[in-house]
Amino acid sequence: MTSRTGLPLLFALLLASWPVRADAQSQKSVSITPVQSLSFGLLVPGIRGTVRITDVSRRAVVALAGKGPVDITLVLPSSLDSPTGERIPLQFSTGDAAFLNADGSTISTLDPLQANRVTLRNDRTILFVLGGTAVTATTTRPGQYTARVTLLVNQPGT
Amino acid sequence: MNRTLRLVAALGMLAIPTLAQAQSITGSIAASATIQSVFAFGAPSALSFGNVTPGTAATGSGYIPMQRNIGVIYSMPDGNATGALTGPGGTIQPTYTCGVGTTSAAITTAFANCTSTSALFTVTAASVSGLVNEWVIFNGSLSAAQTNTVPGVYSGTIHVLATPN
């Protein structure tokens, strides 16, 4: 009889676990929305071009939304490349990235070469901004150079 | 009964790993730059024959620097009138040799003539590997017969057209 009375209790416990699971999944939904590209603009050969994270018109901006802690890891390109294979080396260092609130206030400055953790909340969007330095040479040919920065957003398990 | 309990317990355990599963997403943003073309003449150095004694030959030299990181086509838009001097005795057309130099001191690549409105010197962009500094140099000469004329100041302008290539 004890086991008979225990069985409904176990079912009840099991069923009770499903809403918890669904809730946990909704907490894990994170969105990445690219807002602005990293634009070095017009560069003169032989002169380094730096985009600071305070440069609102040229820095890269990505909006992050969701809930809970997330780890942001960047796959940074080593160079900007032209369609004909010419290269402009890129440099990134500590302070070339930051988390901002939607109003532009700084949460923290970051090292883009490392994984960085931020806690997202449902009621706010966090902006990830990125700058960097393009190192041109006097031999750099005129033209358009491009690259892509990849963001890996990992939400650790609970 | 025990089998049912075990099944229920197993189902319950299956839910737990799902809770602990990490979630990863990726996104990307573009990065770009445009390298500026450099293509500009610098300050010219005038070609001066100086004070010329009538009836004697005279020479002079002048140049204009050019800085570029792309190709170029040089031509003389004034054609046969390039560098003609005008003064009290009328127009004098000096004889010129011209070309580009790696310094301002000497022509290293001479143009076929200094009066053609067509391309006299062509460099393609593909052959330019960086910033080039060069000088377009004109060497002029006046014959004794040309200087045997009415005294006064004779002046003119040498127009050099550089077209990006």
pLDDT reading at B17 higher than 60: no
Say if B24 falls within a structural domain: no
Say if A67 falls within a structural domain: yes
Our count of domains for chain A comes to: 1
Contact list, A30 vs chain B (CB under 8 Å): 23, 25
Contact list, A151 vs chain B (CB under 8 Å): 26-29
Say if A25 falls within a structural domain: no
Say if B30 falls within a structural domain: no
Q: How far is it, in rounded angstroms, from Cα A97 to Cα A92? A: 9
Q: How far is it, in rounded angstroms, from Cα B98 to Cα B140? A: 9
Of A6, A145, A149, nearest to B29 by CB-CB distance is A149
Say if B99 falls within a structural domain: yes
Say if B25 falls within a structural domain: no
Say if A9 falls within a structural domain: no
Integer CA distances (angstroms), B165 to A72, A138, B43, in order:
46, 19, 22
Of B11, B15, B28, nearest to A151 by CB-CB distance is B28
Contact list, A136 vs chain B (CB under 8 Å): 33, 35
Selected residue of B5, B11, B18, B25 to mutate for chain A interface (largest A Cβ count, 10 A): B25
What percent of chain B is modeled with pLDDT above 90?
Answer: 79
User: What CATH number does residue B68 fall under?
Assistant: 2.60.40
Tens digits of per-residue pLDDT, B38-58? Answer: 999 999 999 999 999 999 999
Residue A42 belongs to what domain range? 30-154
Residue B140 belongs to what domain range? 39-164
Amino acid letter, residue A19: P
Say if B69 falls within a structural domain: yes
Say if B32 falls within a structural domain: no
Nearest to B129 by CA among A86, A81, A134: A86
Integer CA distances (angstroms), B35 to A8, A39, A78, A89, A134, in order:
73, 12, 17, 13, 11
pLDDT of residue A13: 44
Say if B7 falls within a structural domain: no
Q: How far is it, in rounded angstroms, from Cα B1 to Cα B147? A: 127
pLDDT reading at B11 higher than 60: no
Distance in Å, alpha carbon of B133 to nearest chain A alpha carbon: 12
Of A20, A145, A155, nearest to B35 by CB-CB distance is A145
pLDDT per residue as tens, chain A (158 positions): 444 555 554 444 444 444 333 333 444 578 999 999 999 999 988 889 999 999 999 999 999 999 889 999 999 999 999 999 999 999 999 999 999 998 888 889 999 999 999 998 877 899 999 999 999 998 899 999 999 999 999 988 65
Q: How far is it, in rounded angstroms, from Cα B165 to Cα B163? A: 6
Contact list, A45 vs chain B (CB under 8 Å): 35-36, 38, 69, 130-131
Average pLDDT over residues B8-33: 66
pLDDT of residue B126: 85
Our count of domains for chain B comes to: 1
Q: How far is it, in rounded angstroms, from Cα A55 to Cα A101? A: 16
Rounded to two decimals, the pTM is 0.68
Tens digits of per-residue pLDDT, B96-146? Answer: 999 999 999 999 999 999 999 999 999 998 888 888 999 999 999 999 999
pLDDT of residue A123: 73
Distance in Å, alpha carbon of A125 to nearest chain B alpha carbon: 16
Q: How big is the A-B interface in CB pairs under 8 Å?
A: 164
Say if B159 falls within a structural domain: yes
The residue of chain A with its CA nearest to that of B133 is A138
CB B11 to CB A77 under 8 A? no
A28: left (phi over 0), alpha (psi -120 to 50) or beta: alpha
Question: CA angle, A84 as apex, A78 and A90 as ends, to 5°?
Answer: 20
ipTM score for this prediction? 0.78
Nearest to B115 by CA among B161, B147, B154: B161
User: What CATH number does residue A57 fall under?
Assistant: 2.60.40
Say if A82 falls within a structural domain: yes
pLDDT of residue B131: 86
* pLDDT averaged over every residue in chain B: 88
pLDDT of residue A2: 46
Distance in Å, alpha carbon of A89 to nearest chain B alpha carbon: 11
Question: In the numeric block, which tokens belong to residue B148?
Answer: 């045997």
